[in-house]
Amino acid sequence: MWSYPNNIPLPATTVKTMSEALAALDFDALYCAFKGSEISEGAGPVVQTSVERYCRALE
């Protein structure tokens, strides 16, 4: 079951701030709670692309 607050988008400025914090980290993989959604390599650029797409969607 999904909680309603998880469906409320974060402001683009918040997402950009989070992206800047992540840019300082060296990571290659991401893991999640949903099987099959892991990113085993190249996760940094994937996150950056996702941030850019998310922010464009809110414009």
Cα gap 14→11, rounded to integer Å: 5
Residue 38 near residue 32, CB atoms below 8 Å: yes
Token representation of residue 21: 């914090």
Strand, helix or coil at 39?
strand
Q: Model's pTM, two decimal places?
A: 0.77
Token representation of residue 57: 């969607």
Sequence ranges of the domains in the chain: 9-58
In tens, the pLDDT along 5-37 reads: 777 889 999 999 999 999 999 999 999 888 888
